[in-house]
Chain A
């Protein structure tokens, strides 16, 4: 079977399978989940049993059901944030590469400054400016994340602007926006996709780590990162509770990256690695 005109490798199939399963779970959470997302049905951190296949969480909710519902929130928020951060980061990065030295220096310095401000202070600034809400959460993550995307996008685009087809577009008198959108973007996609996979996964965890600012997912909704956090303490007693959401994140990370690796291998010329017969 082919996908986008290419035949996925075995590992790519594995990745695709993982992603598909998680997405199906997210979409049909209501049907699949044995219990509701928020109802406390057992004791704190019950061991896995036939009633609760993965045990219960820190306030007695069914872990499996939380995981299933959590897929929805986690994947959704991470996806929106990552897309937003890529919109910001890529646009700025391309602009820096295409727009000339002055714009480049300004943008690069701004990003340097943003990166060098400690996260806590940075988050507090955003918090005090925008207040705390899910929109702020997504925005904060996106802005923080976009600085990293910026660096990559700029590096990639810097290699592309010297291409003669970009020069040809400039000679034609095309505007910056057109050049960024039509000449640079399509060619910058492979490395950006790869980064997208990684950043997508980072954002799962980021959601959880910003939670102390009240920026996390609002209860009673479940998100995997938050579930690891809420149940983290159980690990000090050898209870497996936080392992399940951590495992879900790990699987999603690995799945996404397997697919990303495959997409990259389509686009890049093979390295000298397989040169020796």
Chain B
């Protein structure tokens, strides 16, 4: 089993490396040039050249890639071209914020959707199953900002229960942060729940046709016992994988939520970087997102290997 896990981790690292090349290449071909973007009106051929040299843009791409890559390995993501800040210093608190929000949402969404998925599976075909099914379908039918605006309208503007601005600051206490970010966390929860819920339900139900499930019924177990004790452990792998995918989405795909709730996460940082063509920023954000995605998927695969009794307990 350890070997399988090791192979999976190595594959993850290779993927990340390939992604790093691609991100670097992609940012290289982005139309527009930071030099001319920053220099603007004052750009003359000479100043451009000076500036490019200052930024190292006059060296071959592969040299810059290698330098960037090895610096990134040491945790040095470079310096932002636009405001000359050390990217790691800027991005770390933002990434922590992103993780905080994603973790918050996941803590609500994952247990809720798994439990609801199981409840739907236990009551397959009954009213509650259909209800949960249709409601979850409807939540994925509306764009994220729509949910966000509705929550703001009712919970912030009309009833003033939660703040509409969810900006968190370092000096905030944990409880205050939880309170401040309640609305974006709820929004994200609603966004990812449907997928996980449906997957849980489907996976559990697909296990239900196995002979050992029939055996469990013949042992005189109740339906809930059968599902929780016998179906769920065997349905774990696909559920874990879909949870990982959604966690990755929570980390990577929340730019819109960040904008609407004015939450200082990495997404907004990257969008600003792209807008200004601040390549080191874009590359750093891209790398962090890709790292989060690959990392989560690798963890999911490793977990899936670990919950498989055949791999966990070899003969």
Q: How far is the CA of A271 from the CA of B30 in the complex (A)?
A: 51
Q: Does B38 contact A (CB under 8 A)?
A: no
CB distance from B162 to the nearest CB of A (A): 15
Interface bits B1-45 vs A (CB < 8 Å: 1, else 0): 000000000010011101100110011011100000000000000
Q: Identify which of A233, A257, A275 gathers the most chain B CB atoms within 10 Å of its CB.
A: A275
Q: Could you tell me the dominant secondary structure of chain B's interface residues? A: helix
Q: Which residues of A lie under 8 Å from residue B142 when comparing CB positions? A: 205, 228, 246, 249-250
Q: Which residues of B lie under 8 Å from residue A252 when comparing CB positions? A: 141
Contact (A253, B141) CB under 8 Å given A271-B206, A271-B208: yes
Q: Does A232 contact B (CB under 8 A)?
A: yes
Q: Is A272's CB under 8 angstroms from B22's CB?
A: no
Q: Which parts of B119-166 form the interface with A (CB within 8 Å)?
A: 121, 124-125, 130, 133-134, 137-138, 140-143, 145-146, 149-150, 152-153, 157
Q: Is B290's CB under 8 angstroms from A118's CB?
A: yes
Q: Is A209's CB under 8 angstroms from B143's CB?
A: yes
Q: Does B247 contact A (CB under 8 A)?
A: no
Q: Is B145's CB under 8 angstroms from A232's CB?
A: yes
Q: How far is the CA of A22 from the CA of B271 in the complex (A)?
A: 37
Q: Among the listed A109, A232, A235, A254, which residue makes an inter-chain contact with B18, where contact means beta carbons less than 8 Å apart?
A: A109
Q: Does B95 contact A (CB under 8 A)?
A: no
Number of B residues contacting the other chain (C-beta, 8 Å)?
57
How many residue pairs link A and B with beta carbons under 8 A? The number is 135
Q: Which residues of B lie under 8 Å from residue A204 when comparing CB positions? A: 141
Q: How far is the CA of A249 from the CA of B143 in the complex (A)?
A: 10
Q: Which parts of A98-112 form the interface with B (CB within 8 Å)?
A: 109, 112
Output the nearest chain A residue to B154 by Cβ-Cβ distance.
A238
Q: Which residues of A lie under 8 Å from residue B217 when comparing CB positions? A: 272, 275-276
Q: Among the listed B138, B274, B286, which residue makes an inter-chain contact with A254, where contact means beta carbons less than 8 Å apart?
A: B138
Number of A residues contacting the other chain (C-beta, 8 Å)?
47
CB distance from A274 to the nearest CB of B (A): 8
**Which of A26-34, A62-70, A120-128 forms contacts with chain B?**
A120-128
Q: Among the listed B19, B29, B146, B226, which residue makes an inter-chain contact with A246, where contact means beta carbons less than 8 Å apart?
A: B146
Q: Which residues of B lie under 8 Å from residue A202 when comparing CB positions? A: 140
Q: Does B255 contact A (CB under 8 A)?
A: yes
Q: Is A120's CB under 8 angstroms from B274's CB?
A: yes
Q: Among the listed A118, A128, A209, A250, which residue makes an inter-chain contact with B252, where contact means beta carbons less than 8 Å apart?
A: A118
Q: Which parts of B163-210 form the interface with A (CB within 8 Å)?
A: 205-206, 208-210
Q: Is B138's CB under 8 angstroms from A124's CB?
A: no
Output the nearest chain B residue to A125 by Cβ-Cβ distance.
B26
Q: Is B213's CB under 8 angstroms from A236's CB?
A: no
Q: How far is the CA of A202 from the CA of B138 in the complex (A)?
A: 11
CB distance from B133 to the nearest CB of A (A): 8
Q: Which residues of B lie under 8 Å from residue A162 when comparing CB positions? A: none
Q: Does B297 contact A (CB under 8 A)?
A: yes
Q: Is B293's CB under 8 angstroms from A116's CB?
A: yes
Q: Is A233's CB under 8 angstroms from B22's CB?
A: no
Q: Does B289 contact A (CB under 8 A)?
A: yes
Q: Is B270's CB under 8 angstroms from A201's CB?
A: no
Q: Is B141's CB under 8 angstroms from A242's CB?
A: no
Q: Is A112's CB under 8 angstroms from B297's CB?
A: yes
Q: Is B253's CB under 8 angstroms from A117's CB?
A: no
Q: Does B89 contact A (CB under 8 A)?
A: no
Q: Which residues of B lie under 8 Å from residue A109 when comparing CB positions? A: 11, 14-15, 18
Q: Among the listed B130, B137, B143, which residue makes an inter-chain contact with A232, where contact means beta carbons less than 8 Å apart?
A: B143
Q: Which residues of B lie under 8 Å from residue A249 when comparing CB positions? A: 141-142
Q: Is B153's CB under 8 angstroms from A236's CB?
A: yes
Q: How far is the CA of A200 from the CA of B69 in the complex (A)?
A: 39
Q: Among the listed B31, B152, B214, B294, which residue makes an inter-chain contact with A272, where contact means beta carbons less than 8 Å apart?
A: B214
Q: Which residues of A lie under 8 Å from residue B109 when comparing CB positions? A: none
Q: Is A275's CB under 8 angstroms from B214's CB?
A: yes
Q: Which residues of A lie under 8 Å from residue B138 when comparing CB positions? A: 250, 253-254
Q: Which residues of B lie under 8 Å from residue A1 when comparing CB positions? A: none
Q: How far is the CA of A225 from the CA of B145 in the complex (A)?
A: 12
CB distance from B204 to the nearest CB of A (A): 9
Q: How far is the CA of A257 from the CA of B290 in the complex (A)?
A: 32
Q: Among the listed B14, B141, B271, which residue makes an inter-chain contact with A120, where contact means beta carbons less than 8 Å apart?
A: B271
Q: Which parts of A229-274 form the interface with B (CB within 8 Å)?
A: 229, 232-233, 235-238, 242, 246, 249-250, 252-254, 257, 269-274
Q: Is A253's CB under 8 angstroms from B29's CB?
A: no
Contact (A118, B209) CB under 8 Å given A228-B143, A236-B149, A276-B217: no
Q: Which residues of A lie under 8 Å from residue B15 when comparing CB positions? A: 109, 112-113, 116
Q: Which residues of B lie under 8 Å from residue A254 when comparing CB positions? A: 134, 137-138, 141
CB distance from A130 to the nearest CB of B (A): 12
Taking A208-B143, A229-B145 as known contacts, 15 extra A-B pairs with beta carbons closer than 8 A to each other, sorted by chain A number, are A113-B15, A116-B19, A116-B293, A122-B26, A128-B31, A201-B137, A204-B141, A205-B142, A235-B146, A235-B149, A238-B153, A242-B146, A253-B138, A269-B209, A272-B214
Q: Can you report 27 residue pairs joining A to B where beta carbons are below 8 Å apart?
A: A109-B18, A112-B15, A113-B19, A116-B19, A116-B297, A117-B22, A117-B23, A117-B290, A118-B286, A118-B289, A120-B255, A121-B286, A201-B140, A246-B141, A249-B142, A250-B138, A250-B142, A253-B137, A253-B138, A253-B140, A253-B141, A257-B133, A271-B205, A271-B206, A271-B209, A274-B125, A275-B217
The 6 closest A-B pairs by CB, nearest first: A271-B208, A250-B141, A116-B293, A272-B208, A116-B290, A273-B124
